[in-house]
Every structure is written in structure tokens, then in C-alpha cells.
Structure 1
């Protein structure tokens, strides 16, 4: 009895423990998505490929197992590239699967033909096309294993239309192929561990920096015990928050500048000395600081998966009006899947800072609007909350603290649909000035 590539792919993903698939379907992956659902996978249809890619990598970030993004050929895959790069840089497990034109149409102008494997390689740990339907299980196993192991990242599988519809004898397809197992922790050199411990013991002003690697490694208990037992102050990075609670007496986030500057030994747990940590350079760090590095080897879209995965917890997505513009239509997806995500839009009419109505009108009165409108400005006081009316619901517009409190209480009471809270703030509201001028490259 024969089994086609669509069903082989679906059963292979299920065998590897995949649970969620996000995507936008069309030729040639419509039947693929149906096969996924028939196999028991949860398919969530999105409105933009990049948002689908972000949602899938949220699965990888929060579970350690790759989420899957399913898209069409050509532009469908290319719209994923930004999301793939994001997951690769952040070390989040992700598997992207794209349909592609029939193999016998390649090189002669096939429908949405593109060099998809080649285009993906720069943003992946592994990019391949199974040579036959029978060998799909091996490629799925390898893609899942490589996305999850070592330094986690992205895998890409290219599935031509002819491969998805090709049939193979079921008894010759290794659907029970080896399953990618749990990732085993690495064991450091005992001598290096002893040397690191000695540095910490002799330090006068030690500091622990907790990064996202500690979170992805699920090292919460170990890190908390380290901080509590040694009483060493710690500083979480944005993605390291929650490993040790911010209300711990040893958290020094409020004195971040002084903590970094005065530390003589820093224990770096799952973090990198990148731009967020000022590259570990002076004047933010002491000249002779010693660093011990320990390593583990996207808002609306991520919020959607968080809510579906944790139905007993409320998910709140806080973003600016600029960020909302990237994936705002995913509100329809949330309604379709009955996801009560609370979206809070901090609206200042701009990408960084914006302008009030009168100022914007004055700018645009100076001739050609393409030359007079500030590039970082957005339309003033856009009523994003009115998007709820498209679905027969009412959003919340807030200008005061009291209105915000009332809106949040109303939104929390809704349990089967999303909510939008549009908070209008001073258009000229800006970030906190940097302590050192060299930290701010933009002159805005």
C-alpha cells in the first residue's frame, strides 16, 4: 500500500515530537496542512509568513523543541527570512518547511521558482531537500535534532510539489526512524570549574549576569541556589529575566551602571558580551575585570502561542504603535482561534517619537509630503482599538491612568477573544538618556 510525501512528512514530524505548526498555505502545501491535522498536529493559520515564523520560534524558545513554520514557495519562504535570522541569532530551535515548484519545472520558469535551499543556508544550521519521499523521515529527524542540539538554531526542509505527491511503499518507508532524543548537558572541565570557583571566592565585588541561555537551559533552580547560597549580586539581561525573580534582595538591576563598573569578577551565565552588555568594554567595566563565561553549548506572534500553550494563564502583549504595524492583522488569527490575548499598544505616533496632529499637519503643508513628512513619524492618534469593531467587539482608548486601569480590568474579564488597549502618550516621550554619549550612535 502506498503513502504520499504529505503524509510521510506529517507522520515524521509527529514521530519527532512536533506539536505545533504555524503557517500560511497555498500551492503546493494545502494538502500538506491537511495531512498535518489528520496526523494530530495543531495547525494555526497566520496572516503573514514572518509572524508565523516568529510564533513557531516562540515554541522553540519556551519548550526547547523546534516549532514548525509551513509556507509556500518563492515569496512565502522569502518572507520568512527575517524570522529565520532572528531565531538563528537568538539560538531558538525552529524548523521551516516550504513547498517549492515541481522538480521538472526548475530552470524553465516554474511557478514561484526560487533557489530556496541556497537562499536559506545563510540563516540555518541545516538546509536540505529530501531526494525521495522514502527518505523524508531521515531528513526530518536530522532537521529536528540539529535545530535543538549544540547551539540551537534553524533547520530548513525544501519540499517540491512532486515530492509531496510522490508515493512510496508504506512498508519501505522508515516511519519508525530514530527519534531525536533529549539534549544531554555538556560536562565542563573540572579544572576550569575549580579555577572559576577560586576566582569567585577571592573576588571582592563579584557579580553574576544571568542571560537567556540560563533560561533556555532550564537552569532556574541551579542559578537560584547559586545566588542564594553565595549571596552574590546578580543582574538579569532582558531575556534572562525570571530565572531569578527580580524581587530578590540580590537583584541589582536598579544599580546596573554601578554594578557593572565596580565588579572585579563577573560570572556570565548564558549571556554574551554583546551590545546589550556594552561589549564588556570600558568605560562601563573596570579595566582589570575578570569574566567567567558559562554557556548552554517576537511580540504578537509569540503571545499567540503562549496563550494556546498555557490556557489557564493570561498573556499580555505590550508593544509600540510602530511594532503593532508589523503584525496587527494577526488580531484576526486570535479571533479565529479564540485566543484571549490582551494587546496593549503604547501609541506615541512614531517609530521612535512622533508628533501631534497640528505639528504633523504643519510638516505636511510644506509641499510634497514625501519630502516633508519626517521618516520616523506615523499618523497621529490612530484609533487602533477600532480594529475590534471589525469583529463586532469594542476596543479601549486610554489617555489617563484611570482609563488604563479600567480597560485592563475589562480586558481581563474576557476569556474567549482578544482585546486591544490603545494608550495615547506624549508623542515626544523618549527613552532614558544614556549615561555615556558613546552608547548612542543615533543622533535622534
Structure 2
């Protein structure tokens, strides 16, 4: 007998372990291994990317309950396949990766694709080794396979140097036997304790995990459900262990079931993120956990009883020991009635979505059309964020291991590898992969692999032109210069890729077209079909099951919406936060308008601070130091607001640029986290734009954010008060800052009149330098608007139709010390700003032109008249004094006696109101931001 090569010995050893198929990619030095496998009758399916073939091997391990085998070339090939190794290890599925390596004699010499592969794989596998000689190959293979299936299943790695693969065995090599994994039963005493808990449970719940599906415990678990009559809840890959149409299935009332159960039995389910780490369980719930791995007992939530053993045997023990149904008659149980009510409500909501005639289609409408055409024994591969989450609630399964998804490790890109493995395993059933367009992009070229392998797959790409959500063609063109990070090219023709590799492709836009395409694909039993299903590109609403801690975009969009509402005010208003200073009881304010020099400021000053004196006698009078401060602020703002300035406070980074329907440009400061320069062109005169954007007198919707007279009275003001109506736009109050602001109508450009509205926060010596509890210290924030008239030449360059246009430059600078996530800032800059600015421009286009002189008269008539009255009353005083607050709003005359009485009666109510008004939004915003960060980390 001729001596065998290492590749041939490996092929025989794999056959001895029952290997039927190997997924891989050939190249130096593993080509000989693939040839030897085929010579031994083992099917070899060659892939286009090691990640996909490693995912195929991982899925095979789950479906076949024996290690799936992946073959990869040395170096980069093994690195790519590491994704499947970790995927299998985390999901507890058996898998063996075989990687080529450089010759042992060339190690350390810089050989071709030399890499320390055994060391790299060891932390992520149960066993990682390299046979020293050809004679060691069978023993290493046996150890790798036994390790992969024994106890808690996982991954193994075998490293094969080129000289071992290609060398000849000097003697006959004996093959190692195949060992079956040991199985065991639970401790009878522990089973008895579990039975005692179940016997007195009034609202029990069985949670069926993917471990139950892997262990093939469906027969025993169905018997347990039928005998005990308890409701059960399958995890996403536990679906079908007990048929989804079983009357005790409470999937449609998931949250209510988890929170209302008093005894929860975990059947091959881990208390990880898929079960919210147990945080949704009732605090008084008792847990009975059945798992093959003792290390899993009590993770995240303490267990009352832990049953360690082979799941089918342990469930049989439990069923045999139970006397019958749980303590309360299931038909009379309030718990069961409550779950039924929740289930009906959610099902009704979902059924309404199935019938939607909206075009483009929604996820629910598309899935409903697919669902009613698929055979009952279909194997469904589901991948993608929204696609997978929503499909889980739509498709039902009557058999186990018929639904495959990203599982515990939540990898993206598993879809095509899963589908190829599933179709290879289930040769008599149809495998349908329903994948999102983003997820499909990870493994699209495996279409060619499936065609070459003659697998009758059906791939349905749910195409919403983005990750989570995308843009339609018009939105895409408008924002093409700076696209949202979630956007993909609209309506990519994926069906043409399928046709290019020899498959059948369909492009569908309506439910009827989708239904016809699915019917046609099902009739094609000797080739692959791909259906490119175009759906609504915007965010899709899911029902509030929140099984993944609602990490996909319904909650993210809610989070974004909260911040959008908070920051929309930034565009039409100057920054202002009016709340209590840490040591002060109030803030006094004064606002006057000057036609020219910036000598009439708005001063926000802590009540117990040393007053800033102004000279009485003239409404335009002011101290020299204060006037200089205003001039300094104005000059700094104008530098930032003038893009052509050589010293504009940069560097600036373009974030968003739109040309239609209105020119809008958003720039972000490269060094400051929350500093924006926003430039837009509005179809209105400067006076009209200023009147809408900055004149607090003409914004009645701000009234609800104005301090009430009761609060002002209780703070001890005198007989009359004027107060400001300025909208606070920060999620937290800048309690430790003072604010200086002024408004001027000086000629700011050669084109004509302009308006300047600028504010600057100022540090105060009495503010603690260190951040106090509950206070977010804001840097010296500058904000405001420069509004100028657009010349005819500029209108022609920009393609602006009509003569009445103004240019608005908005500066928003507020460093919140990293409090706001970058993803939220990106959303605000790329979506919230453009949307709100477009609405502002549309409103200005419909607003009657405002006369500048009348505007100034209105402002000065309200502001200056009151100041003159206060000033003249004290004209005879020799020393400087503080002018009482004169604010841009209606005068509220309050008799002094009433103020005294109300002060005694309402001060405690005022503090409650202040806390509710300022602290509560800050806490909610902070918690929302924290939750957002957690969710984004989990998604990534």
C-alpha cells in the first residue's frame, strides 16, 4: 500500500468522525486537503469568503448536532474565519476550523502568510492544537471533535503546516475512534425541589431557548407543556420546539409574561441580553434553570434550583415527577387571562399592519405576503436589524431548528452562509433567506457559491436603501454631499447580481408583484432565485415587544426625536438658559435695543452678586467696561460668522450641505464637540427673518416656557416686573453661568442693513470651579445670528429666484463636556438642522414682509419706555444704581402687598415647580442619553 500524505490522513480522520461536508476556500497550502476530502466522498463546498464559510460551518454544527468543518488558508484566511469560530463559541455550537500554515522549517523566517494561528485561536476555542507529525493527525482530529461537542459545545482549531499536509507518512497511520458526548441526568434531590416550586406556582412560565432546539428536546418539552399546562415563551431560535400555534404559546404577550411570572423555568436559555439580563423578571420570581453547563447557573439572576444535565433527560425527569397542571386552573387563572388579553391586543395591532396598502411597502405588508405563500416545512434564515426583529414576530414555526438568525453573538453577514448550510442539510425542504439589504451586502457574492452548488435557495432582499433606514432618491440627491451614516444607494438592483451569476432575479415594488415572484421562485426547484423587494426607505415602526432592549431604531428614533425637539429651538433663537444659580435665588435680566453701537446689553446676573452699575439718565447709557465687553463679544462672533475671515475660530468641518429646496450648509468645529456654524438662505428680508428668528415678542408659542408671575413674586421682586420670554434649548440648565447678549441693527455688510443677535455666557467668581452635583458646567458658550441681505449677484450665483432673500449665519457653541453622544450630534447636524431650517424657510416664504422701522419701534417702544420711566424716577440720586429688569415682553404690574402675601404662601411651591421644570427634563435627557449609548454599543 502506497504511503499516505498528510492531507489524505486528515481526510480519513474526518470521515472517521462522521464528517459529510466541509465548507472552505482553497489556496496555498490546503488545495491538497480539499482534493483528498472529495476522494474520500466528503462533499466540499468552495466559498468566496472565509467569513461566510465559517458561518456555514457554525450553522451546520447547530443543525446536525455535530461539528461543522471549515477549511481556510493560512494567515488572512484563518483571521477571516475567526469570525465563525467566535460565533460558534458564543452560541455554543460545535465547529472545527482547519487552517493551513507555513512550513515548520520556515517559522520565524518571514514565510508566506506566516502567522501565530494557534495562539490567536486559543482564547476563543475549547481546543487549539497543531499535530507535530502526520501520525499525530488522527488523535488531534479526535480531540478537536470530542472537545467541540462535549459538555457545553463550542469551537476547536487544527493548525496544519504545509510540510505536514504534503509530506508522506513513513508508516501506516491508525485512525482514532469516534466518541459520543457523555449525557447525564440531574440530581434527583434538585428535581424534587423544582417540582415543589412548580406545584405551588400560580403564574409559571416556561422559557424555551435555542439550547433546547440544539439538544433535540422537542418531544420531552412538548410533553411537559401538555402535562403542566403552563404558558411557554420561545426565544427567537427556540421557536418550533413547541409549535407556535400551541394554545399555551404567549409570544404575543412576551413582556407581560416575563414580568408577571412567579416561577420561571429556563429550558436551555441563558439569562443574557436576549432575556434582558433578567431585569424584566418579577423581583419575587423563582428561577429553575436547566442547562448542560453548571457555569451558567445563576448568571445575572440567582436561581432557586439549578438542574445540570442533558436537557431531554432532565426535562423527562421533571415531567415524570409532576403530578399534573399547575396550582391554579389554567382556564381560570388571572395570569393566563391577562396574557391572553395582551396577546389579543398586540395581534390586532399587527394584523392591521398586514393589511396596509401603503406604497412603498412596509416590512409587515411584505412579510405578510411572503408568509401566506411559504410551505409549512420551510426553513427560514433571517438576517438584518429591522428585518430580523420584525420577521420574528410574523413567521410561525411548527418544527424545531427551522428558523436561523444571528443568535447570541448577533453577527452581521451570516445570512448566505447559513442558507447554504441549511439547504445542504435540509435537502427535501425549501430554504428561504429573508435578509436586509445592508446584511446581504456582507455576503452577496455567495450567490455564486449557491448557484455552483446547485442549491434551490430563495433569497428575498428587503431593500430599504439603508442600515435601519435609508433615503429615497430625492432625499439622496439633496444630501449627497454629506450623506447620513445609515444611507445606502437607493434601490440597488440586487436582482441583477443574481442574474449575473446564473440565478433568477425579480424586482418587486407592490404586494402583488412580491406574491407572484415568491410563487415563481417556489416552482423553480433546480436553481436559485433572488427577489429584490423595495420597501419604504424611512424608519419602520415595530410593535413594542422590545425583546432586544429595543435596540433597533424605533427607540433610537424616539431618542433622536427627543433631542430634535430640544435642539430645534437652536436654529431660530439665541442661546439662553434662565434658571437658578447654585448660590443665587434668582436671575435679574435687562434687555434694550440700540440702533448702532452695542451699548445696550442683556445682563443675566446672580441676585447675590455685586451689581454691575450703569449710569442713569439715558436709556443708551452704560459703563465703559461693559460696552467694551459687548464689543469684544460682537467682534468674536462676527469673525466666526464670516467664512471668509482669516481668523474665523476654526477649523470647521463640513457636515451637511443642501442646495434644494433652500441652500443650507452646516459645519462642525473640528475641536469642539458641540459647536456649529450654520448658513442658510431664506426667502425674506433681513427684518422679516429677524422678526421670526430672534424677536421674542412675536413668538407666542414660547409663553409656556416663561416664568410665571407667581415664581417672580416669590423671589422677592418689588411692585412691578417685566420678564423675558426666551426659550431654553439645552437639556440641562447652565446654572453656573451668566449671559451677556445684545441686539444691533448696524450696517453689517455692503449689501444693506443687517441684524446681529449675539449672546455670550460669562463665568462668575462665585460659581464653584469644580462641577457640583446635578450641574453640568458649560464652557463660555457663544451663540447668535447674523442676518444680511443677499445681493443680486449672489442671488444669481446661487440660483435664487426672486429679489427678497436674506442670508442667515447661525453660530451655536456650547461645550457640554462630552455629555451628548457623538451619534446624536451627528443626527442633529445632518438631519435635525436641515429639517428644521427647511421648515423655517418655508414659514418665512409665507410670512408677510416686516418693515424694519416698525420692527425697531415695536422693540424699543416696549423696552426703552419702561427703562426711561425707571431711570427718570431716580435721576436725582448721586450714586450709580441698578436699573430694574426691563425685558422684551408685556409689562406685568403687580402691587407690592400682593407680592408679599404670595411670597409667604408659594415659596415652597415655587421650589417644587423649579425642580419639576428644570431638574426633571435634565434627568430624563441624561438617562435617555445613557440608554442610547448602551444601545449603540450593543448594536455594534
TM-score bin, normalised by smaller chain: over 0.9
Q: 1:109 deviation in Å? A: 0.5
Secondary structure in structure 1 of the residue aligned to 2:156: strand
Among 339, 345, 363, the alignment partner of 2:455 is 339
Tell me which residue corresponds to 1:368.
Answer: none
Q: 1:434 deviation in Å? A: 4.6
Q: 1:131 deviation in Å? A: 0.9
Q: 1:439 deviation in Å? A: 3.4
8 Å contact kept, 2:456–2:527: yes
Tell me which residue corresponds to 1:320.
Answer: 436
Q: Can you list the C-alpha shifts for 1:210-262, whole angstroms capped at 9, x where unaligned?
A: 00111111000000000011100000000111100110000000111111111
Structure-1 separation of matches of 2:496 and 2:60: 30
Q: Can you list the C-alpha shifts for 1:20-46, whole angstroms capped at 9, x where unaligned?
A: 100000000001110011011110000
8 Å contact kept, 1:19–1:67: no
Q: 1:433 deviation in Å? A: 6.1
Q: 1:305 deviation in Å? A: 1.8
Tell me which residue corresponds to 2:33.
Answer: 32
8 Å contact kept, 2:503–2:527: no
Q: Can you list the C-alpha shifts for 1:123-153, whole angstroms capped at 9, x where unaligned?
A: 1111000011001000000000000111000
TM-score by length of 1: 0.95
Tell me which residue corresponds to 1:56.
Answer: 57
Q: Which protein is bigger by CA-based radius of gyration?
A: 2
Q: Can you list the C-alpha shifts for 1:384-411, whole angstroms capped at 9, x where unaligned?
A: 0111221355411111111111000000
Q: 1:440 deviation in Å? A: 4.6
Q: 1:357 deviation in Å? A: 1.1
Tell me which residue corresponds to 1:174.
Answer: 174
Secondary structure in structure 2 of the residue aligned to 1:80: helix
Of 15-24 and 304-313, the range deviating more from structure 2:
304-313
Structure-2 separation of matches of 1:51 and 1:385: 20
Structure-1 separation of matches of 2:521 and 2:67: 31
1:296 aligns with 2:292: yes
Call closer, same or farther: CA 1:69–1:437 in 2, change over 3 Å: closer
Tell me which residue corresponds to 1:195.
Answer: 193
Q: 1:437 deviation in Å? A: 12
Higher RCO (CA-CA < 8 Å; seq separation 6+): 1
1:223 aligns with 2:224: no
Call closer, same or farther: CA 1:119–1:196 in 2, change over 3 Å: same
Secondary structure in structure 2 of the residue aligned to 1:201: helix
Q: Can you list the C-alpha shifts for 1:11-64, whole angstroms capped at 9, x where unaligned?
A: 000011111100000000001110011011110000110000011111100011
Structure-2 separation of matches of 1:85 and 1:437: 23
8 Å contact kept, 2:22–2:68: yes
Q: 1:435 deviation in Å? A: 6.5
Q: Can you list the C-alpha shifts for 1:81-105, whole angstroms capped at 9, x where unaligned?
A: 1111111000010000000011111
Call closer, same or farther: CA 1:411–1:286 in 2, change over 3 Å: same
Tell me which residue corresponds to 2:464.
Answer: 348
Structure-2 separation of matches of 1:115 and 1:80: 14
Structure-1 separation of matches of 2:22 and 2:157: 14
Call closer, same or farther: CA 1:3–1:393 in 2, change over 3 Å: closer
Q: 1:299 deviation in Å? A: 2.0
Q: Can you list the C-alpha shifts for 1:267-290, whole angstroms capped at 9, x where unaligned?
A: 000001111111101xx2211111
Tell me which residue corresponds to 1:410.
Answer: 520
Of 351-360 and 87-96, the range deviating more from structure 2:
351-360
1:153 aligns with 2:154: yes
Structure-2 separation of matches of 1:437 and 1:302: 23
8 Å contact kept, 1:133–1:163: yes
8 Å contact kept, 1:217–1:296: no
Secondary structure in structure 1 of the residue aligned to 2:416: helix
1:198-209 to 2 correspondences below 5 Å: 198-209=196-207
TM-score by length of 2: 0.45
Q: Can you list the C-alpha shifts for 1:302-340, whole angstroms capped at 9, x where unaligned?
A: 111221222221110111001100111010011111111
8 Å contact kept, 1:66–1:95: yes
Among 364, 370, 374, the alignment partner of 2:480 is 364
1:264-303 to 2 correspondences below 5 Å: 264-281=262-279, 284-297=280-293, 298-303=414-419
Which 5+ residue runs of structure 2 have no aligned equivalent? 294-413, 561-940
8 Å contact kept, 2:470–2:537: yes
The size of the alignment, in residue pairs, is: 433
8 Å contact kept, 1:6–1:165: yes
Call closer, same or farther: CA 1:435–1:313 in 2, change over 3 Å: closer
Tell me which residue corresponds to 2:6.
Answer: 5
Tell me which residue corresponds to 1:65.
Answer: 66
Structure-2 separation of matches of 1:90 and 1:289: 26
Structure-1 separation of matches of 2:546 and 2:428: 44
Structure-1 separation of matches of 2:256 and 2:499: 49
Give 4+ residue runs of structure 1 displaced > 3 Å after superposition: 391-394, 433-444
8 Å contact kept, 2:22–2:43: yes
8 Å contact kept, 1:196–1:292: yes
Call closer, same or farther: CA 1:190–1:265 in 2, change over 3 Å: same
Q: 1:436 deviation in Å? A: 7.6
8 Å contact kept, 2:27–2:73: yes
1:424-435 to 2 correspondences below 5 Å: 424-432=534-542, 434=544
Q: 1:361 deviation in Å? A: 1.3
Call closer, same or farther: CA 1:393–1:161 in 2, change over 3 Å: closer
Q: Can you list the C-alpha shifts for 1:185-222, whole angstroms capped at 9, x where unaligned?
A: 22111111110111111101000000011111100000
Call closer, same or farther: CA 1:254–1:333 in 2, change over 3 Å: same
Tell me which residue corresponds to 1:369.
Answer: none
8 Å contact kept, 1:33–1:43: yes
Of 217-226 and 346-355, the range deviating more from structure 2:
346-355
Among 457, 481, 486, the alignment partner of 1:376 is 486
1:239 aligns with 2:237: yes
Among 258, 262, 265, the alignment partner of 1:260 is 258
8 Å contact kept, 1:213–1:296: no
8 Å contact kept, 1:317–1:344: yes
8 Å contact kept, 1:20–1:56: no
Q: 1:169 deviation in Å? A: 3.0
Structure-2 separation of matches of 1:274 and 1:201: 27
Structure-2 separation of matches of 1:89 and 1:375: 29
Tell me which residue corresponds to 2:88.
Answer: 87
Structure-1 separation of matches of 2:473 and 2:283: 49
Which 5+ residue runs of structure 1 have no aligned equivalent? 366-371
Structure-1 separation of matches of 2:156 and 2:548: 37
Secondary structure in structure 2 of the residue aligned to 1:31: helix
Secondary structure in structure 2 of the residue aligned to 1:417: coil
Q: 1:184 deviation in Å? A: 3.2
Structure-2 separation of matches of 1:8 and 1:436: 51
